[in-house]
């Protein structure tokens, strides 16, 4: 295997980054190269995949010569970073002011920057320890992080003097690494003889769209050496299984119409396997056909039905004792939030309730789903909050307020800081406060919502309370802010959407903890694309995948949520009508 000294594996959660990174590391180690595997994924299951202890210290991987691994916990790195930032401020600021700064440094951007700070020493060659022929990174930094760290103003006194100006970076004195080190790192990332970015995707539209976006962002940063890893390509074993044949055709259609910027990349294609890829030998099977044949088995019994009720049961619950309220779908990208929100809105409208469906999804997939239907109920209204427009409006206001005393470099840093996901959530929150208010009179179903961090940031800083009070035209009676509505489980129902797979489940769990920190308890979990909800599967690979879901769903039901509902895997292009038809069919047969 010919490779550069630094390999990055990047892609959406659950596409198989860790698995392919581990398999590549083992392959290179088997060839005699000395390899270090570095993971910065907050939902890391590196130890489980390798079946070897992995810690924050570099240790050899059990049973594999020449392979070493280290797990950088981004949350630990971020907490250490926050402590270094706020430590010197003790005594000079009030506890409330320090709490505000800590919350500003609790977003995803800070977590990523602090993790990048930790692993940059592996790229710069300044880490302590042995030298390696190849260093493999499971997950890569975003373009926002790299752009932010490149700006000279990020290393000046600007951030220390303006703690409200840059919520992502914070005082630069808290970084362990020097600006010179970061410059070296970025140069090596751009050097095609030094670094390869391996973009991992599944043959699914959401995954490929994310891969396409990542590729473009890397190109804009001058990181041109990219390769595409297409993982989980399904081929039906049982040609009599209609679901299997439909799945195979769907995957083929996606692969035949790859986004243009991906189609030109060197491609590596790997099949969907009927077994869990855990341990060195099964990891080796990714690259070796004879091992795949050895581990594959056709004798799989699907686990007992775990009794996941469908969305129709959820809607019955939601509308049993009220005719209005806020319903929000939340979760990581690509898990099915938009499909879930759209189906729930239509099911409520079919019951005769007035319903407003809105989205903050930049891609506005709600319209794509609704266009699959011949007509919409008259009591359903639909609109979209445009995140770009709201963010631009918010950015202009912040620059006007905070940029008047900054030089050109300071303005650049402020603008880059305002490109963070946190900014978009804050901006959008102000826009959909109106929609939240509307939920007093009707059902408002909202696709995507602000994270707990964004809500805490707004609350701690006091900004949204002040804005809401200032903008309210009618203040008689009890004033209720949007944040208070979200915390009130009788008024707002938060639905977490996940896939029945380990990584999406772990990501949804982290999101749930984030919300709880803000005093918000999700109402239910929805497990999307569940094969175990399909009756009559005969394809051995699909039966095996359905069986593997049982532990995930069991954990969600027993440990993560008091209410769990499911959406079966739908092997069709037009998902919405198929889902609604399946629910009607189920109701008719009961």
Q: Which two tokens stand for residue 420?
A: 């963070």
Return the structure tokens found at 355.
């319903």
Q: What was the pLDDT predicted at 170?
A: 60
- The partner residues of 382 in beta bridges, in order of sequence, read 357
Q: Which residues contact 271 (CB under 8 A, 6 or more apart)?
A: 232, 233, 234, 235, 292
What pLDDT, on a 0 to 100 scale, did the predictor assign at position 293? 76
Bridge partners of residue 7, in order along the sequence: 136, 196
Beta-bridged to residue 39, according to DSSP, are 71, 138
CA-CA distances (angstroms) from residue 39 to 7, 21, 25, 424, 435? 12, 9, 12, 28, 40
Q: What is the pLDDT of residue 299?
A: 46
pLDDT of residue 176: 78
The angle subtended at Cα 133 by Cα 38 and Cα 119, nearest 5°, is 30
In the structure encoding, which two tokens stand for residue 21, read together? 């990174």
Instruction: Residue 241: name the closest of 574, 571, 501 by CA.
Output: 571
Contact yes or no for 430/395 (Cβ under 8 A): no
What region does 286 belong to: left with phi over 0, alpha with psi -120 to 50, or beta? alpha
The half-sphere exposure of 315 on its side-chain side, counting CA atoms within 13 A, is 23
Q: Return the CA Rg of the chain.
A: 25
Domain 6-295 homologous superfamily, CATH: P-loop containing nucleotide triphosphate hydrolases (3.40.50.300)
DSSP codes of every residue in 205-257: HHHHHHHHHHHHHHHHTT---EEEEEEEE---S-TT-HHHHHHHHHHHHHHHT
**Which residue, 178, 172, 143, 141, is CA-closest to 158?**
172
pTM of whole model > 0.85?
Answer: no
CA distance 570 to 582: 10
CATH topology of domain 311-385+442-589: Rossmann fold (3.40.50)
User: 286, 200 in Cβ contact below 8 A?
Assistant: no
Please count the other Cβ atoms lying within 10 Å of the Cβ belonging to residue 352.
11
Residue-by-residue pLDDT tens, the chain, 590 positions: 788 999 999 887 778 899 999 999 999 999 999 999 998 876 677 888 999 999 888 999 999 999 999 988 888 888 888 888 888 888 888 888 888 778 777 777 777 788 888 888 888 877 766 789 999 998 877 766 777 667 666 665 434 444 444 456 666 667 777 778 888 888 999 999 999 999 999 998 878 988 998 899 899 889 999 999 999 999 998 999 999 999 999 999 999 999 999 999 999 999 988 777 889 999 999 988 888 877 765 445 554 556 789 999 999 999 998 999 999 998 887 788 999 999 999 999 999 999 999 987 766 678 889 999 999 999 999 988 887 888 888 888 888 887 777 888 778 877 877 777 667 777 777 777 777 788 889 999 998 766 666 666 556 544 544 454 444 444 444 556 677 788 888 989 999 999 998 888 988 998 898 888 888 899 999 999 999 999 888 998 898 888 888 889 999 999 999 999 999 999 988 899 999 998 876 655 55
Instruction: Tell which residue, 109, 149, 114, has the closest CA to residue 412.
Output: 149
284: tokens are: 């080796």
Phi (first) and psi of residue 60, to 5 degrees? -65, 145
CB 384 within 8 A of CB 471: no
Strands 67-71 and 59-60: antiparallel
How many C-alpha atoms does 355 have within 13 Å on its Cβ side? 24
3-state secondary structure string across 314-349: HHHHHHCCCCCEEEEEECCCCCCHHHHHHHHHHHHH
Phi, psi dihedrals of residue 534, rounded to the nearest 5°: -95, 130
Paired strand residues for 446 = 328, 358
438: Cα separation from own chain's centroid? 29
Structure tokens at 519: 């005093």
Query: Any residues with CB less than 8 A from the CB of 518 and at least 6 apart, and which?
Result: 452, 453, 455, 456, 459, 486, 487
- The bridge status of strand 325-330 relative to strand 492-498 is parallel
Q: Domain boundaries in the chain? A: 6-295, 311-385+442-589
């Amino acid at each position: 295997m010919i490779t550069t000294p630094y390999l990055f594996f990047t892609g959406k959660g659950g596409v198989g980054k860790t698995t392919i990174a581990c398999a590549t590391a083992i392959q290179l180690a088997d060839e005699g190269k000395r390899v270090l595997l570095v993971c910065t994924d907050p939902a890391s299951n590196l130890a489980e995949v390798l079946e070897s202890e992995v810690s924050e210290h570099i240790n050899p991987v059990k049973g594999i010569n020449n392979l070493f691994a280290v797990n950088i916990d981004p949350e630990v790195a971020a907490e250490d970073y926050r402590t270094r930032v706020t430590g010197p401020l003790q005594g000079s600021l009030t506890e409330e002011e320090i709490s505000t700064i800590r919350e500003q440094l609790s977003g995803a951007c800070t977590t990523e920057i602090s993790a990048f700070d930790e692993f940059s020493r592996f790229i710069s060659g300044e880490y302590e320890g042995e030298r390696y022929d190849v260093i493999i990174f499971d997950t890569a930094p975003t373009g926002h992080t790299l752009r932010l760290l490149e700006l000279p103003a990020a290393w000046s006194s600007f951030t220390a003097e303006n703690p409200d100006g840059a919520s992502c970076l914070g005082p630069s004195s808290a970084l362990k690494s020097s600006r010179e080190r970061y410059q070296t790192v970025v140069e090596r990332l751009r050097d095609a003889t030094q670094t390869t970015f391996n973009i991992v995707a599944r043959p699914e539209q959401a995954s490929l769209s994310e891969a396409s976006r990542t590729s473009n962002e890397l190109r804009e940063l001058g990181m041109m050496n990219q390769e595409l890893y297409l993982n989980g390509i399904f081929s039906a074993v049982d040609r009599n299984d209609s679901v299997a044949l439909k799945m195979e055709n769907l995957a083929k259609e996606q692969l035949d119409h790859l986004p243009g910027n991906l189609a030109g990349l060197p491609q590596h294609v790997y099949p969907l396997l009927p077994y869990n890829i855990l341990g060195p030998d099964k990891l080796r099977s990714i690259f070796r056909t004879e091992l795949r044949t050895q581990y594959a088995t056709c004798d799989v019994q699907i686990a007992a039905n775990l009794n996941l009720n469908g969305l129709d049961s959820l809607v019955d619950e939601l509308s049993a004792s009220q005719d209005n309220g806020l319903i929000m779908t939340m979760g990581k990208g690509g898990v099915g939030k938009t499909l879930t929100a759209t189906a729930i809105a239509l099911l409520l409208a079919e019951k005769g309730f007035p319903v407003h469906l809105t989205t903050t999804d930049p891609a506005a997939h709600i319209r794509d789903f609704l266009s699959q239907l011949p007509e919409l109920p008259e009591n359903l209204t639909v609109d979209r909050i445009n995140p770009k427009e709201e963010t631009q409006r918010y950015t202009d206001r912040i620059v006007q307020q905070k940029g008047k005393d900054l030089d050109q470099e300071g303005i650049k840093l402020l603008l880059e800081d305002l490109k963070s996901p946190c900014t978009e959530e804050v901006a959008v929150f102000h826009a959909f406060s109106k929609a939240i208010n509307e939920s007093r009179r009707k059902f408002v179903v909202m696709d995507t919502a602000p994270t707990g961090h964004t809500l805490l940031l707004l609350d701690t800083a006091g900004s949204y309370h002040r804005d809401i009070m200032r903008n309210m035209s009618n203040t008689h009676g009890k004033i209720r802010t949007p944040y208070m509505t979200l915390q009130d489980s009788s008024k707002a129902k938060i639905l977490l959407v996940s896939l029945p797979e380990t990584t999406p489940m772990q990501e949804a769990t982290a999101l749930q903890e984030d919300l709880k920190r803000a005093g918000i308890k999700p109402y239910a979990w929805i497990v999307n694309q569940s094969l175990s909800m399909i009756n009559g599967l005969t394809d051995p690979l699909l039966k095996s995948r359905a069986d593997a879901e049982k532990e995930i769903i069991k954990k969600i039901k027993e440990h993560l949520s008091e209410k769990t509902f499911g959406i079966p895997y739908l092997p069709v292009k037009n998902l919405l009508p198929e889902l609604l038809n399946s629910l009607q069919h189920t109701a008719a047969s009961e």
